[in-house]
Chain A
Amino acid sequence: MSDAPHELHESRILRTELLWAFGVGIFVAASLSMIVFTAITIKINPPSNVERIDPKTLHLSGEFAEQNLGTTVFGDGTVIVRAIATQFMFVPQCIAVPANRRVTLRFASPDVLHGLLITGTNVNTMVVPGFVAQVHTEFTRTGDLLMPCHEFCGQGHSEMWATVQVLPADQFKPGPDGRVSCAQR
């Protein structure tokens, strides 16, 4: 083929493609830089907590025994919520949490795979039998929120949900043992 006219040269085409590829690089950098920036400054991570716990003896264990579930405020002010995701019910079915204050939610499953989200918040985790799922967050809005199980766990999956009451600071009063339960409304 005789020397092709300048416009058809492959190198000219590839130069525009490399220019575009540079644009793609900016796209990738933009999306990743937002992730890295917020991870470093305000510590945004996906909830991860490789803490193994035997699902078969969960109900015999200390932390996830039946009467130990719910919200507890410890001496140094840390707010811990413990809940069980079991086939077709969250226990407790109503969780009280303070607004605008760091809360650590810990979940475990004694039987199958579950998952949960709290509507309108960034609380979202899978609850895998064999691990304690842990989410650190701050609730920025008060009110009654919905906490459904969002992973298929059996025939009762659609009916598996709990309520989360985000209480303003003045209504969030721990009892003598540090426990806080839902206000009966």
Chain B
Amino acid sequence: MTDQRPQQSDPHVLDQPWRLWSTIAVMGIVLVGILLGVIVIPVVQGRSAGIDAFTAICRALGILPGSPAVPQFSDRTPPTPVSQVVWTPDVLQILARADVAKGKAKVLEVCIACHGENGVSIAPEYPHLAGQSGAAIYKQLHDYRTGSRVNPQMTDIAKALDEAVIADVAAYYAGQPQRNLNPVTLAESPPAIVQLVELGDPHRNIPPCAACHRAGAGGPIEAPVLAEQRDEYLVQQLKLYASGQRRNDVYGRMRLIAPRLTEDEIKGLAAYYRAGFR
């Protein structure tokens, strides 16, 4: 915009040098803000907490951790993890680029005995794997390998597999179609169970099962798909979590929920998911 010099035609009109005063005002305000926020307040706060001025200013800027007013606590507790699986970008890339054909070959060689060729297991104590989340299979096999989860048959089998083959097997089973595409109507399952799945029980601090276990809900990455799972297997796993024998759920979420479920709730939930509800 051309900067038309205002003509001095009318003396009453206010015609200050806006450029100068506004710059001074705006800069003054922000510099007072910087002076107070980054220098005065942190240094004064730090002095009474025994923190020197430089550290206090660095903390106020966010260069150093901690508050400028309180000495920072440090703690070197030895790590004793529950599950070694770490969802890093390259793990997720391996899962995304897994080779289904190699997976099928390993399945026909090893897994078919119990889990079946297309993921339909042959006995109640072996879980179905058809349509299971690849990440969930990957994590369980990884936990068997590191001993975070113990099972007489699975521990040795898992130890024989390396990282790439685990991803291939997981991708293969994840690709197997689930049979019961239109689950029985909700009418059959008791409303208490549907409510537990959809709303959870806030009073007993139980989050809804669907919040984590429904695919696409944005829940934890390793949460397994429960739809069409064997009900005996679900009941068995919930009991293992309740007793604390199974401990490879990160931060013990299932170990906190399972003991709070009553006997018939466990059976109801197992039947609900057995019927194929998502």
- Interfacial residues of chain A within 46-64, with CB under 8 A of chain B in the complex: 47-51, 56-57, 59-63
Interface size class of A (residues with CB under 8 A): 35 or more
Residues of chain A within 8 A (CB-CB) of B73 are 78, 80, 104, 106
Q: Is the CB of A40 within 8 A of B41?
A: yes
Give bound CA distance, A162 to B48, whole Å: 34
Residues of chain B within 8 A (CB-CB) of A10 are 12-14
Known contacts A40-B45, A156-B207; A61/B79 CB under 8 A: yes
Residues of chain A within 8 A (CB-CB) of B49 are 43
* Residue from the list B48, B65, B79, B211 in contact with A51, Cβ < 8 A: B65
Assess whether B167 is interfacial by the CB under 8 Å rule.
no
Q: Is the CB of A59 within 8 A of B83?
A: yes
Which residue from chain B places its CB closest to the CB of A8 in the assembled complex? B12
Residues of chain B within 8 A (CB-CB) of A158 are 202
* Residue from the list A11, A49, A84, A88 in contact with B211, Cβ < 8 A: A88
Give bound CA distance, A156 to B252, whole Å: 16
Per-residue interface assignment for chain A, residues 90 to 131, with 1 indicating a CB less than 8 Å from any chain B CB and 0 otherwise: 010100000000101010001110000000000000000000
* Residue from the list A11, A62, A80, A104 in contact with B12, Cβ < 8 A: A11
Residues of chain B within 8 A (CB-CB) of A111 are 220-221
Residues of chain A within 8 A (CB-CB) of B214 are 155
Residues of chain A within 8 A (CB-CB) of B155 are none
**How many residue pairs between the two chains, A and B, have CB atoms under 8 Å in the bound complex?**
146
Q: Is the CB of B256 within 8 A of A159?
A: no
B209, chain A: closest CB distance, angstroms = 9
Q: Is the CB of B253 within 8 A of A91?
A: yes
Assess whether B176 is interfacial by the CB under 8 Å rule.
no
Assess whether A89 is interfacial by the CB under 8 Å rule.
yes
Majority secondary structure, B binding face: loop
Known contacts A155-B218, A159-B205; A89/B256 CB under 8 A: yes
Residues of chain B within 8 A (CB-CB) of A112 are 218
B275, chain A: closest CB distance, angstroms = 21
Residues of chain A within 8 A (CB-CB) of B88 are 56
Residues of chain A within 8 A (CB-CB) of B199 are 159
Assess whether B175 is interfacial by the CB under 8 Å rule.
no
Q: Is the CB of B67 within 8 A of A47?
A: yes
B258, chain A: closest CB distance, angstroms = 13
Assess whether A151 is interfacial by the CB under 8 Å rule.
no
Q: Is the CB of A68 within 8 A of B77?
A: yes
Assess whether B39 is interfacial by the CB under 8 Å rule.
no
Q: Is the CB of B251 within 8 A of A66?
A: yes
Assess whether B53 is interfacial by the CB under 8 Å rule.
no
Assess whether A86 is interfacial by the CB under 8 Å rule.
yes
Assess whether A164 is interfacial by the CB under 8 Å rule.
no
Query: Can you list 30 pairs linking A and B with CB atoms under 8 Å apart?
Result: A11-B14, A39-B45, A40-B41, A40-B44, A43-B45, A43-B48, A45-B45, A48-B67, A49-B66, A50-B65, A57-B86, A59-B81, A59-B83, A63-B77, A65-B81, A66-B82, A80-B75, A87-B211, A88-B211, A89-B256, A91-B253, A111-B221, A134-B65, A134-B66, A155-B208, A155-B217, A156-B200, A156-B219, A159-B208, A162-B205
5 tightest A-B contacts by CB?
Answer: A156-B211, A51-B65, A88-B207, A156-B207, A43-B69
Report B's interface with A, CB cutoff 8 A. 12-14, 36, 40-41, 44-45, 48-49, 62-70, 73, 75-84, 86-88, 199-202, 205-208, 210-212, 214, 217-221, 250-253, 256
Report A's interface with B, CB cutoff 8 A. 4, 9-11, 14, 36, 39-40, 43, 45, 47-51, 56-57, 59-63, 65-68, 78, 80, 84, 86-89, 91, 93, 102, 104, 106, 110-112, 132, 134, 136, 154-156, 158-162
Beyond the given A59-B82, A65-B77, please list 9 additional residue pairs across the A-B interface where CB-CB is below 8 A: A56-B87, A68-B77, A80-B75, A93-B256, A102-B70, A111-B220, A112-B218, A136-B70, A155-B217
